Structures are given as C-alpha cells and as structure tokens.
Chains A and B, each alone.
Chain A
Amino acid sequence: SQKIEQNSEALNIQEGKTATLTCNYTNYSPAYLQWYRQDPGRGPVFLLLIRENEKEKRKERLKVTFDTTLKQSLFHITASQPADSATYLCALGYSTLTFGKGTMLLVSP
C-alpha cells in the first residue's frame, strides 16, 4: 500500500536558520507532490506544488525539491521566523490527495 513518511519528531531551529523537512514515499509514483502548512486546530493551507518533471520549485523563502528516483521531497524554509512555526504536511497527487502525518517545525527567537 502507499506509504508517506514524514519525520514525526518536531524540528527545532533558531530564527534565521534554514529549516529542511523531508517527505519520503513508497509504493507510489505521483505525478504531483504538494506541501501544506497546518496550524493547530486549523485546516491546511496550500504552499507549493511540484510536478514529477520538475526538480525544484521556489516561492519567496520556500524551496521544494522532488527526486522521483529517491522517492523523496525536501522542503526548505530559508531565513526562518517564529511565525513559520507550524506543522508542514506533504501530500501526493493532484485530484485526490494522500497526506503524510506532517512534521512540526518550531522556530525559536
């Protein structure tokens, strides 16, 4: 069955550093991979979508890579800020989404 793995342990970093979150998947060959931000008690907010033929996508301080050989996506936040603290979800697919459990990011001042 399809499986998506995101680090269940929270990632703690200092303000100004680059946060890197990982999404690994098995038994799946998604044409699209998406990243969402979820704050406690709130619905997910779409951040970035990357296609299988794209290696990298950027949006302001965000960068996503997609390695279909390794079956892995990396999500980077540069110059992190305390306001970036949230849970970040990886989702595979486009029409129907399969989500990972997410990784909590804590950025301390």
Chain B
Amino acid sequence: GAVVSQHPSWVICKSGTSVKIECRSLDFQATTMFWYRQFPKQSLMLMATSNEGSKATYEQGVEKDKFLINHASLTLSTLTVTSAHPEDSSFYICSARRGSGGRDTQYFGPGTRLTVL
C-alpha cells in the first residue's frame, strides 16, 4: 500500500509555455502533499506544502505565481509551472502523507523530469 504516482514521468516543452504535473495517492487519502525539486547531484528541496482544500504554503524563495499548486481532492495535487524557462528544468517530485498531525511518514512519487528548451 501507500503508492503515489506522478504524471507525466517526463516532459519537454518550449520556453514560455506552461506545464502541469499531477500527483496522485492511489490507495490512500492524503491530507497533505508536498512538492520538491531536485537538481542534478543536489538534495531534494521542498517547494511547497499543500493541504486539501486550502492554499499551499510556499517555501522562501519559491514564486507562488510561477509554481501554481492545486490540491482539490484527497488523492490529487497538481503543480503547474507557468511560463517555463530553461532554468526551471529539473526533477520534480511529490510526496503524500496520510493522516493528520504529522503522524505518518511521507510516500514519494516517482518524479517528473521537466526539460525546458
């Protein structure tokens, strides 16, 4: 159990376009979902935390107008990279947590490789 999927697994887009990445918890309801970004040979950096039905909380330095997060249901969160530029090329990973009050570990998705030309 505790499977998290992401779609697409990779995407290539032109500079200036927007890209939407989906994160789904397949066999549990996720009250909280997290979005991370990982550059080559770097650590995962938390971008934002989203709770179902409320606005996402963004980490310092992450532009909320550029990285739009929607957590419309207990099994789906989306990250939209708006007006993507080559420097946004990265590996985007989501994670989902069951329960509330931080009583469960995070389950990570397989990641989405974004390449902006």
How far, in Å, is B106 (CB) from chain A's closest CB?
7
CB proximity of A89 to chain B, nearest CB, Å: 7
**List of A residues within 8 angstroms of B106 by Cβ:** 46, 97
Cβ of B58 < 8 Å from any Cβ of A? no
Pairwise interchain contact B46-A43, C-beta atoms closer than 8 A? no
Q: Mark A82-108, 1 if CB is under 8 A from B, else 0.
A: 000000010000111111111000000
Chain A residues positioned under 8 Å from B108 (CB to CB): 36, 43-46
B93 on the A face (CB < 8 A): yes
Q: Is the CB of A49 within 8 A of B105?
A: yes
Decide if B43 touches A101 in the complex (CB within 8 Å): yes
Cβ < 8 Å to A, chain B residues 31-79: 34, 41-46, 49
Give the number of chain B interface residues (Cβ < 8 Å). Answer: 23
Which 5 A/B pairs are nearest by Cβ-Cβ distance? A95-B102, A43-B108, A99-B43, A99-B44, A101-B43
Overall SS of chain A's interface: loop
In angstroms, Cα B108 to Cα A97, docked, is 12
User: Is the CB–CB distance between A41 and B46 below 8 Å?
Assistant: no
Residues of B within 8 A of A61 (CB): none
Q: Determine how close the nearest CB of chain B comes to the CB of A106; give it in whole angstroms.
A: 15
- Docked complex Cα distance between A95 and B4 (Å): 17
Interchain nearest-CB distance for A90 vs B (Å): 9
Which residues of the partner chain B approach A80 to less than 8 Å between Cβ atoms?
none
Which residues of chain A from 1 to 32 have a CB within 8 Å of any chain B CB? 4
B residues 93-117 near A (Cβ < 8 Å) are 93, 95, 97, 102, 105-111, 113
A96-B107 contact, Cβ under 8 Å, with A43-B93, A44-B93, A101-B41? no
Tell me whether B44 and A42 are in contact (CB under 8 A).
no
Q: B102 contacts A102, CB within 8 Å?
A: no
A99 smallest CB distance to B (angstroms)? 4
Counting CB contacts under 8 A, is A73 at the interface?
A: no
Report A14 CB to chain B, min CB distance, Å.
Answer: 25
From B92, which residue of chain A is reached at the shortest CB distance? Answer: A43
Q: Give the residues in chain B near A43, CB-CB below 8 Å.
A: 4, 6, 93, 95, 108-111
CB distance from B73 to the nearest CB of A (A): 21
